[in-house]
Structure 1
Amino acid sequence: MAPDLQGRSASPVSQAAAAGLLASGLAPLRRIGGETIRRFGLQPAQSDALAGSLGRSGSLEVRLARGPSEVWRAQRVRYRVFYQEMSAKPDVVSRMVRRDADRFDAACDHLLVIDHAARGRFGGVKPKIVGTYRLMRQDEALRLGGFYTQSEFDLAPLIARHPGKRFLELGRSCVLEPYRSKKTVELLWHGIWTYIRHHRIDAMFGCASFDGTDPEDLALPLSFLHHHARAEGEWSARAHGVRHVAMDVLPAQMIDAKLALKQMPPLIKGYLRLGARFGTGAVIDRQFGTTDVLVILPVEAIDQRYVAYYGDEGQRYAA
């Protein structure tokens, strides 16, 4: 009943972060001061009310990161998936520290799935982070100067049309390959559902990615999203003009829906099942070797099957 998850909504380490890390001499965590922690996204922004476990299934637990070391570990998981497994190209600092990080991390809550039965290098039990999602609320984004997604898509008109609604950006989604199972994914979505209920979120959005940077190679799935799942009216949004890549590569009558869905990344198929719609126009991200689309999901549009499955207050995997 849950969408599968394997993807990313990410950006490379910012120039400011790179300079700061080099200036710090890549010091161990215990030697990094509080201001550096805040500046480079190592201090979670979570509220005390969500500091406990958000859910469990067997040895797996979903919760928010509780301190700088857990954010660093989540960034390391992101690096493994985005740079070592997928096609992202790390800059010199990312390669040296083996972490995926940017300036937005400091304004986000970091949702984690932790395997408490994982084994360490010498065979002993050593809990480890196996999946993560980055969550940025609108008030935190305003303090930072905007959402990450706004670097690719023009969200200002969308947000302006809903002045009383609370928006949440979803990004940096990834799960380690051995854990890409229904259980892990359901725990992540259980955590998100608990989070949006607690913060009374009205709508979610974020970037989702196709591998590859040639729209012609992605003609069928992009055209399907444009013709059959495009956000319209008050929920519409577009890629920035200078980065806009047309998604209607094929006319509607040429689309084989079954084949198009088969070509969708699991994350995008999952969003579709939930009831999401997609922005107009895609964006090519050459740093990550992907074609990005904008996902828009008002909470009121979530398929009621999923609401019933997780419970109105997220009871299904309650700890």
Structure 2
Amino acid sequence: MRIAPLDRSTPTFGQLGTLEVRLARTMGEVRRAQQVRYEVFYEEMAAQADPFTMATRRDRDQFDSLCDHLLVLDHNVATRRFRKAKPRIVGTYRLLRQEIAEHNGGFYSKSEFNLAPMLERHPGLNFLELGRSCVLKPYRDKRTVELLWHGAWSYTLRHNVDVLFGCASLSGTNPDELKVALSYLYHHHLAPEEWRVRALEARHVDMNRLPVEEIDMKTALRALPPLIKGYLRLGAYVADGAVVDHQFGTTDVMIVLPVSGISHRYINYYGANATRHA
């Protein structure tokens, strides 16, 4: 059950040319974001759709009604809905605040990772889970990704978030084929004990698949998706262990990003008050 209705007056977080980033204001916009997710996850990538998902052509689950949905919209490309032209949704991010998760059974990623020890170590901090990030293929460029980050940073400031975390995916379900990327993450970006999360034992996949001296850095970085590289540049850590998600055809890693550890370079770039594209 949703804690609060969608806010039709939610402000624009930023604009860059014809692109705008803000939260979804209506259920219609949430449904259109789910259609974007379906197009990326099921039509372009390797996710396996059940009959209902295939019939509706929307990627959705029970967490959608609990989350805020960050959108990037292109005002130069309109789609018609009931005779009224609306800007096209070209990117989306799903945001779940700790206060809402705790009243509704917990975070989405608890089905893959044991979050409890990290949350218990930091009872005074405010956590935000990010997930279901995707951008339509023609828009996968610096502008769109920059607006998504700008929107997430604006939201972080708006809700006094202390820690960002969530699953990020590598394409493929054979960890041996991903050994270079997984080993690189394990040896160079494993979270310190203070921020350590571990994959659930029943689903745990060892990331330490190559000795550190055998890892070619250029090859490893090329193997990482842009989203994960973006998190790492900001100063994020990764959890101990990956999880294979056969439905989505991915191998998932957990990203943990304390706001206090975000690179000052990026805070200065987007603005301490998220003013760069406001």
Q: Structure 2 length normalisation: TM-score?
A: 0.95
Q: Does 1:309 align with 2:269?
A: yes
Matched, 1:296 2:256: yes
Shift of 1:252: 1.2
Which SS does the other structure have where 2:161 is aligned? coil
Where has structure 1 moved over 2 Å in runs of 4 or more?
Answer: 43-48
Instruction: Provide the C-alpha distance between the structure 2 equivalents of 1:208 and 1:117, rounded to a whole number of angstroms.
Output: 30
Q: What residue number does 1:151 align with?
A: 111
Q: CA deviation at 1:47?
A: 6.2
Q: Which residue of 1 aligns with 2:158?
A: 198
| Structure 1 residue matching 2:103: 3-state secondary structure | helix
SS at match of 2:53: helix
Q: Is the 1:77–1:129 contact (alpha carbons within 8 Å) kept by the matching residues of 2?
A: yes
Distance 1:44 1:275 in 2: 32
Contact 1:245 1:281 in 2 (8 A): yes
- Which has the larger strand fraction? 2
Count of residue pairs brought into register by the alignment: 275
Note if 1:223 corresponds to 2:183.
yes
Give the partner amino acid of 2:138: P
| d(CA) in 1 for partners of 2:7, 2:107 | 19
Residues 110 and 133 of structure 1 are in contact (CA less than 8 Å); yes or no, is this contact kept in structure 2? yes
1:92 equivalent to 2:42? Answer: no
Identity of aligned residues (%): 56
Hey, what's the Cα distance between the residues in 2 that align with 1:74 and 1:46? 14
Counterpart of 2:90 in 1: which secondary structure?
A: strand
Query: Alignment partner for residue 29 of structure 2, among 66, 70, 74?
Result: 70
Amino acid at match of 2:185: L
1:104 matched to 2:63? yes
CA RMSD, Structure 1 to Structure 2 (Å): 1.7
Q: Helix, strand or coil for the counterpart of 1:100?
A: coil
Contact 2:6 2:27 in 1 (8 A): no
For residue 99 of structure 1, report the CA deviation from its aligned partner.
0.2
Deviation at 1:262, TM superposition (A): 1.1
C-alpha separation in 2, matches of 1:259 and 1:45: 46
Partner letter of residue 199 of structure 1?
H
Q: What is the aligned counterpart of 2:73 among 106, 111, 114?
A: 114
Aligned pair 1:276/2:248, yes or no?
A: no
Contact 2:7 2:25 in 1 (8 A): no
Q: Distance in 1 between matches of 2:12 and 2:198?
A: 37
Matched residue, 1:235 = 195
1:183 aligns with 2:131: no
* Aligned partner of 2:42 among 71, 74, 83: 83
Match of 2:11 among 52, 55, 69: 52
Q: CA deviation at 1:266?
A: 1.0
C-alpha separation between the residues in 2 aligned to 1:135 and 1:174?
Answer: 13
Asked whether 1:174 is paired with 2:141, we answer no
1:155-187 CA distance string (max 9 Å, x none): 000000000000000001001111111111111
C-alpha separation in 1, matches of 2:7 and 2:197? 30
- Secondary structure of 1:205's counterpart equals strand
SS in 1 for 2:60: coil
